[in-house]
Amino acid sequence: MLTAPDDGNIEIRTMSMKTRTRIKRLRPYAAGLLALALLGGCAVGPDYQRPAVDVGTSYKESEGWIRAVPRDAALRGDWWKLYEDPELDRLMDELLASNLSIAQAEAQYRQAQALVQSARSAFFPTVGVDASMSRSGSGSGSSSSSGSSFSGNGNGASNQYALTGSVSWEPDLWGKVRRDVESNRAGEQASAADLANTRLSMQSTLAQSYFQLRALDAEKRLYEQTVAAYERSLKTTQDRLAVGMVGQSDVAAARTQLENAKVQQLALNWQRAQLEHALAVLVGKTPSAFTLKSEKNTVTVPDIPVAVPSVLIQRRPDVAAAERRTAEANAKIGVAQAAWFPDLTLSAQGGYRSGQWAQWLTAPFNFWSLGPSLALTLFDGGARQAQVDQARAAYDAQVASYRLTVLTAMREVEDYLVQVHVLGQEQQAQNRALEAARESLRLTLNQYNAGMIDYLSVVQVEATALSAERSALSMNADRLVASVQLIAALGGGWQAGEEAVRGPQPAPAAAAANGQARAPAVELAAKP
């Protein structure tokens, strides 16, 4: 019976015999469900451990670098802002909004998210409903031997209505579903890292192409000045020929020098056009719809913070992607091993079936069924063992791929460290050579104007000076490109979703116990 205490809450005081009987009948099922819950806590297959990789404590080519000051943390995030170029900033915004490679990677990431949701759906039962209606009838009669006549009567037609509901659930006793979800979640995280890697690659390509284009703009301005100077020299030489101060050979030499400069100037046009077309594709536009005006570029090579090797593994998206695919391959081993165990399916079905709508709710016209199903493969010719062996081999291959990715990342950082360092030294030497070439040209022109030498001597010195000017411009462009490559090798500014890609990390105490303690994030910057 139900009673109402003074506080107004309804309490159950007694229980009917019928209810007690039902509870007693459910006790065995409750015990079975408890056993299933305990079994559901286990999962076959190895638990994932990140493969160990010896990356060292410092870079071989880090000589000449010191610890970075706090302002150098600007490398994380929009790393291209280190160059302080508004036009580059605008192009990067267009790249992130319209680049088709990034759009493709985003779609693949959404696909991976859908696969995770699909795998999670196996935790829940499948519920279905079916409704049907049929009309049938039969008749009887007789016919003559010739088949020319027939007579008969029917017993009428009847209707049949049916409404059926079903529930089916396969408990995850051996962790097959959990390993499958684990595998797909790791695949999703790898896709997120692939997206970040694609974004970083496109950003790096755009920055390199942009700096190369600006270098061509500077070289074109140099040739414009050079052609103008050669035209003046030709005019001066022609005037001197008219008064008999020089010979015809000087005029020919001046004209040859002028035409060669024009040819080299024209060659820069198609090189710049190709770089402009490449930039157009990167920002998702057709070459005909994209134009980048020639501007004077005053960008200098910034100081770049360099993280220690242990931090590089956490920052580079391609390394993170390879590590997550290793976790994915490890989970698939458990999925393959779960095939050795029986599959338990709990199903229930019930509904109503009658020839009239009004009779649906009456007892004689309803039906139900309830029962478990246990399936186990006894012999398959070694197919399951082959699947397990295949999964283990795939894991070993992915471990090797992960370690190779880490080593490749280390090599790239070492390469660009030494390239940036040596190019800086080369540019200093080139600047000294350029100053010497300019001074030599000034002295040679003075000698020519004084009539002490012929114009052939001037041509040689001018060619040397022009080559020094071009080398200085090219050297600065190479340093800018190398700095972009170094930033990309260090992982760029990729940090959004970094924790999600790495997955849940152990607590500091647990990590230290497992030998996974992280090294402190120490950053280095180039000495001025």
Q: Report the alpha-carbon distance of residue 342 to residue 219 in Å, rounded.
A: 74
Tokens representing residue 257 in the block: 């020098």
Residue type for 136, please? S
Mean pLDDT of 514-526: 32
Among the residue ranges 7-16, 38-47, 51-60, 205-214, the one predicted with the least confidence is 7-16
> For residue 331, what are the contacts with CB-CB under 8 A and spacing of at least 6?
45, 48, 179, 180, 182, 183, 186
Q: Could you tell me the pLDDT band of residue 26, with boundaries at 50, 70 and 90? A: very low
Tell me what pLDDT residue 237 has.
86
Burial of residue 215, with CB atoms counted within 10 A of its CB: 0-12 exposed, 13-18 middle, 19 or more buried: buried
> For residue 42, what are the contacts with CB-CB under 8 A and spacing of at least 6?
173, 174, 175
Q: Report the alpha-carbon distance of residue 265 to residue 231 in Å, rounded.
A: 14
Tell me what pLDDT residue 37 has.
46
> For residue 447, what are the contacts with CB-CB under 8 A and spacing of at least 6?
453, 457
State yes or no: pLDDT of 380 exceeds 60.
Answer: yes
Among the residue ranges 91-100, 193-202, 239-248, the one predicted with the least confidence is 239-248
In the block, tokens 């160990």 appear at: 52
Tell me what pLDDT residue 266 has.
92
Burial of residue 167, with CB atoms counted within 10 A of its CB: 0-12 exposed, 13-18 middle, 19 or more buried: middle
Tell me what pLDDT residue 457 has.
85
The 10s digit of each residue's pLDDT in 289-310 is 999 998 887 888 887 777 667 7
State yes or no: pLDDT of 374 exceeds 80.
Answer: yes
Tell me what pLDDT residue 503 has.
36
Quick one: which of 488, 484, 68, 528 has its CA closest to 306? 68
State yes or no: pLDDT of 123 exceeds 80.
Answer: yes
Q: Report the alpha-carbon distance of residue 65 to residue 308 in Å, rounded.
A: 12
3-state DSSP helix/strand/coil % of the chain, to nearest 5: 60, 15, 25
Q: Report the alpha-carbon distance of residue 254 to residue 246 in Å, rounded.
A: 12
The 10s digit of each residue's pLDDT in 134-151 is 887 765 555 554 444 444
Chain mean pLDDT for the chain = 78
Mean pLDDT of 45-68: 68
Phi-psi domain of 465 (left: phi exceeds 0; alpha: psi -120 through 50; beta: other):
alpha
Mean pLDDT of 4-20: 41
State yes or no: pLDDT of 5 exceeds 80.
Answer: no
The 10s digit of each residue's pLDDT in 273-291 is 999 999 999 999 999 999 9
The 10s digit of each residue's pLDDT in 442-490 is 998 888 888 788 888 888 888 889 999 999 999 999 999 999 999 999 8
Among the residue ranges 23-32, 44-53, 84-93, the one predicted with the least confidence is 23-32
The 10s digit of each residue's pLDDT in 327-364 is 999 999 999 998 888 888 889 888 877 766 565 555 55
Domains of the chain, earliest start first: 1-39 (no CATH), 53-125+159-506+516-526 (1.20.1600.10)
Output b/e per residue, 169-205; b: 16+ Cβ within 10 A. bbbbbbbbbbbbbbbbbbbbbbbbbbbbbbbbbbbbb
Q: Of 33 and 114, which is predicted with more confidence?
A: 114
**Three-state helix/strand/coil letters over 392-409:** HHHHHHHHHHHHHHHHHH
Q: Could you tell me the pLDDT band of residue 400, with boundaries at 50, 70 and 90? A: very high
Q: Report the alpha-carbon distance of residue 236 to residue 232 in Å, rounded.
A: 6
Q: Of 283 and 512, which is predicted with more confidence?
A: 283
Tell me what pLDDT residue 525 has.
35
Tokens representing residue 104 in the block: 């493709």
Mean pLDDT of 19-45: 52
Q: Give the HSE-up count for residue 390: Cα atoms under 13 Å, Cβ half-sphere.
A: 8
Q: How does DSSP classify residue 119?
A: H
State yes or no: pLDDT of 509 exceeds 90.
Answer: no
Output 32-38 pairs: Cβ under 8 A, ≥24 positions apart: 36/171, 36/173, 36/344
Mean pLDDT of 176-198: 92
The 10s digit of each residue's pLDDT in 147-181 is 444 444 545 677 788 888 899 998 888 888 999 99
**DSSP bridge pairs for 154:** 139
Q: Report the alpha-carbon distance of residue 490 to residue 412 in Å, rounded.
A: 9
The pTM for the full model equals 0.77
Q: Report the alpha-carbon distance of residue 372 to residue 173 in Å, rounded.
A: 14
Quick one: which of 364, 367, 371 has its CA closest to 130? 367
Share of the chain above pLDDT 70, in %: 75
State yes or no: pLDDT of 131 exceeds 90.
Answer: no
Q: Does residue 120 contact residue 185 with C-beta atoms inside 8 Å?
A: no
Tell me what pLDDT residue 64 has.
52
Please provide the distance, in angstroms rounded to a whole number, between the alpha carbons at the two ends of the chain.
Answer: 89
Q: Could you tell me the pLDDT band of residue 367, with boundaries at 50, 70 and 90? A: confident
> Maximum Cα–Cα distance for the chain, whole Å?
139
The 10s digit of each residue's pLDDT in 214-228 is 999 999 999 999 999
Tell me what pLDDT residue 373 has.
87
